[in-house]
Chain A
């Protein structure tokens, strides 16, 4: 008898791109939480001095107000350094020194993977008493770092290797940031979220300048950017149809609902609706070489749909900043890093705050993606998530924990 299979329902593929970007963010956060709980439970590590504590080193005996002022000074210094570095990056990009930037990115990735990865590996070896000798360790570490650099900058690697290494780089930098003193970390997160908001939305913001430069030149921004695996379509003839869709959409300036009727494939429609082109940029920040590496962060931005002529736009859509035709979402690595820093710092208090902050960050990311679909322009990915994360951390720590512990210890649950 004939097989009567129902046609695939709407629910089978809706929201797949969001999940494909949520999964690596969650994995990065999970790895940082694991690292923090394994390495920090043993002994309290001494606070590393770095550019982020240049103004004030927190000690346990200062009063709350002193700590707050000190943290504020630290964050201001840090944000100032980041701003200067970003403007230098924009200058280099403007002068078309992209090669230099790429080499610098490669070098900084090598430093992160080699030195910071090595340091954390040493901590882990010490913690678990793994029997391994120096030479083997050095050889393995060197190979690991070199493949990481190649994976991140050569597009010929399997995408899973590239994605894995990007998540690892994010995890290593995030773990390093959690070693900062507590007040400094929180004020720094808020300050960076505000900076991100200003830099992407203000007309003089460096990130906005960079994005516009890259778009006007049809160039790729030199950046460490996580790119989700593009959603593959199971229907036939999807790719050529899509390109036509883009051009038609471009010329006719159709809004998302009309264009969806041209293509029966759900995924490309969703990608059109969700404004799939997200370019990204990197922000390189200088630090003292012996202590820190470059920190990279980028806003989650949308590629602008309107352009001067159809042809260049089409190539822009297809090759330029995003994966135009397949509609994959890109998220800058700095966002990974700061989400994980927030969750890692929450892990240093208790696991309840970890869960609350994780949910808050995921909610913030979802809201940012929805705003992206709505406004169709470059948007910073940090502010909403960090704001929600910090809010939920303090609410959980001061309100929820007492409530839950009171109920649970009396075995009263609802």
Chain B
């Protein structure tokens, strides 16, 4: 509706990611590179999917089941890519550890690995927000606005920004859960991520019905909150186990500055979102 409204919509979708970026990721150049590469991977997956589906588009927008198939195949493809991403990351971790040994620096800490996973997830989330929400925001900077029939209470830009916010959260933290699940061999975590992604995708199908977005969007946010809570619990447990393994436990627990370091580095960004 104006430049202010356009910037507002962009910040609704990307505000928490921006604060995560500034607080955690911009401090370490390697994390910025991880974020850029995971954004690129998500974009490539999206291009491949659109290439596959191009022949069938535009779909008839009255029936919902072609869209269900579209969402299902897309999510299946992206989860497959996540597994690939994990394999590449494993190799990278080995290279980095070997490099660290050579230059006599400490190997990657657990928090480092989690931060890399967080950067990867944030890359996916930012890619989603950019391509599904921001790239369509150009008219919002002009003098008018746009409403969709199916969700006519609020402008289209605001709806897409809110949905993008939920998905950014889901993507960001599910990558942390997934990497941890693959590292530990934890089947629950490994299955949690694709199922949450699939559930979130399918929930947007509820938006298909007239006025469905009133039900669909809160359910979507429920998924996002579920992801965040699961991730927080998992991280707390891992960090606790990690501390108990080392002799510095007493020092950490008794040293408020170090405890604050752990809090700041990892738990706070989760709480922020």
* Chain A interface residues toward B at CB < 8 A: 1, 3-16, 18-19, 22, 257, 260-261, 264, 266, 269, 350-352, 355-356, 359-360, 362-363, 366, 392, 395-396, 399-400, 402-414
The answer to whether A413 and B204 touch (CB under 8 A), given A10-B108, A14-B29, A18-B33, is: yes
B30 sits at the interface (CB 8 A): yes
Q: Are B207 and A352 in contact (CB under 8 A)?
A: no
Contact partner of B128 (CB less than 8 A), chosen from A11, A22, A266, A413, is A413
- What are 20 A-B interface contacts by the 8 Å CB criterion? A1-B251, A7-B105, A9-B106, A9-B108, A10-B99, A11-B30, A11-B108, A16-B29, A18-B29, A261-B102, A351-B138, A352-B131, A355-B134, A359-B39, A366-B33, A399-B47, A404-B50, A405-B136, A411-B216, A412-B207
* Chain B interface residues toward A at CB < 8 A: 27-33, 36-37, 39-40, 43, 46-47, 49-51, 53-54, 57-59, 61, 67, 70-71, 74-75, 78, 96, 99-100, 102-109, 112, 115-116, 128, 130-138, 148, 150-151, 156, 159-160, 163-164, 167, 197, 200-201, 204-205, 207-208, 213, 216, 248, 251-252, 254-255, 257-258
Q: Of A7, A269, A412, which is in contact with the most chain B CB atoms at under 10 Å from its CB?
A: A412
Q: Are A350 and B31 in contact (CB under 8 A)?
A: no
Point out the residues of chain A lying under 8 angstroms from B132, CB to CB.
Answer: 404, 407-408, 413
Q: Are A11 and B135 in contact (CB under 8 A)?
A: no
Contact partner of B213 (CB less than 8 A), chosen from A12, A266, A360, A411, is A411
Q: Are A363 and B106 in contact (CB under 8 A)?
A: no
Min Cβ gap A25→B in Å is 12
Point out the residues of chain B lying under 8 angstroms from A6, CB to CB.
Answer: 106, 109
The answer to whether A9 and B136 touch (CB under 8 A), given A400-B46, A406-B58, A411-B150, is: no
The answer to whether A414 and B204 touch (CB under 8 A), given A11-B115, A366-B33, is: yes
Point out the residues of chain A lying under 8 angstroms from B28, CB to CB.
Answer: 11-12, 14
Q: Are B54 and A402 in contact (CB under 8 A)?
A: yes
Q: Are B105 and A9 in contact (CB under 8 A)?
A: yes
Taking CB as reference atom, which chain A residue is nearest B156? Answer: A409
Q: Are A411 and B151 in contact (CB under 8 A)?
A: yes
Beyond contacts A14-B28, A403-B49, A408-B132: 20 other A-B pairs, Cβ-Cβ < 8 A, are: A4-B255, A7-B105, A7-B106, A10-B96, A10-B107, A11-B30, A15-B30, A19-B33, A351-B135, A351-B137, A356-B47, A359-B40, A362-B40, A400-B50, A404-B132, A406-B58, A409-B148, A410-B208, A412-B205, A412-B208
The answer to whether A411 and B40 touch (CB under 8 A), given A261-B102, A399-B51, A400-B47, is: no
Point out the residues of chain B lying under 8 angstroms from A18, CB to CB.
Answer: 29, 33
Q: Are B112 and A408 in contact (CB under 8 A)?
A: no
Q: Of A10, A15, A411, which is in contact with the most chain B CB atoms at under 10 Å from its CB?
A: A411
In the bound complex, CA of A407 to CA of B167 (Å): 14
Point out the residues of chain B lying under 8 angstroms from A362, CB to CB.
Answer: 36, 40
The answer to whether A1 and B36 touch (CB under 8 A), given A351-B135, A352-B135, A414-B75, is: no
Min Cβ gap B179→A in Å is 15
In the bound complex, CA of A356 to CA of B40 (Å): 8
In the bound complex, CA of A31 to CA of B130 (Å): 19
Point out the residues of chain B lying under 8 angstroms from A19, CB to CB.
Answer: 29, 32-33
Point out the residues of chain B lying under 8 angstroms from A5, CB to CB.
Answer: 258
In the bound complex, CA of A395 to CA of B257 (Å): 50
Point out the residues of chain B lying under 8 angstroms from A404, CB to CB.
Answer: 46, 50, 131-132, 135-136
Point out the residues of chain B lying under 8 angstroms from A411, CB to CB.
Answer: 148, 150-151, 159-160, 163, 204, 207-208, 213, 216
Min Cβ gap B171→A in Å is 10
Q: Are A269 and B135 in contact (CB under 8 A)?
A: no
Min Cβ gap B23→A in Å is 15
In the bound complex, CA of A292 to CA of B47 (Å): 38
Q: Are A355 and B29 in contact (CB under 8 A)?
A: no
In the bound complex, CA of A257 to CA of B102 (Å): 8
In the bound complex, CA of A351 to CA of B37 (Å): 20
In the bound complex, CA of A411 to CA of B108 (Å): 41
Q: Of B40, B137, B200, which is in contact with the most chain A CB atoms at under 10 Å from its CB?
A: B40
In the bound complex, CA of A145 to CA of B56 (Å): 55
Point out the residues of chain A lying under 8 angstroms from B134, CB to CB.
Answer: 351, 355
Point out the residues of chain B lying under 8 angstroms from A359, CB to CB.
Answer: 36, 39-40, 43
Point out the residues of chain A lying under 8 angstroms from B205, CB to CB.
Answer: 412
Q: Are A4 and B103 in contact (CB under 8 A)?
A: no
The answer to whether A266 and B29 touch (CB under 8 A), given A403-B54, A409-B148, is: no
Point out the residues of chain A lying under 8 angstroms from B197, CB to CB.
Answer: 414
Q: Are B58 and A266 in contact (CB under 8 A)?
A: no
In the bound complex, CA of A9 to CA of B105 (Å): 7
Q: Are B131 and A9 in contact (CB under 8 A)?
A: no
Min Cβ gap A51→B in Å is 33
Point out the residues of chain A lying under 8 angstroms from B164, CB to CB.
Answer: 413
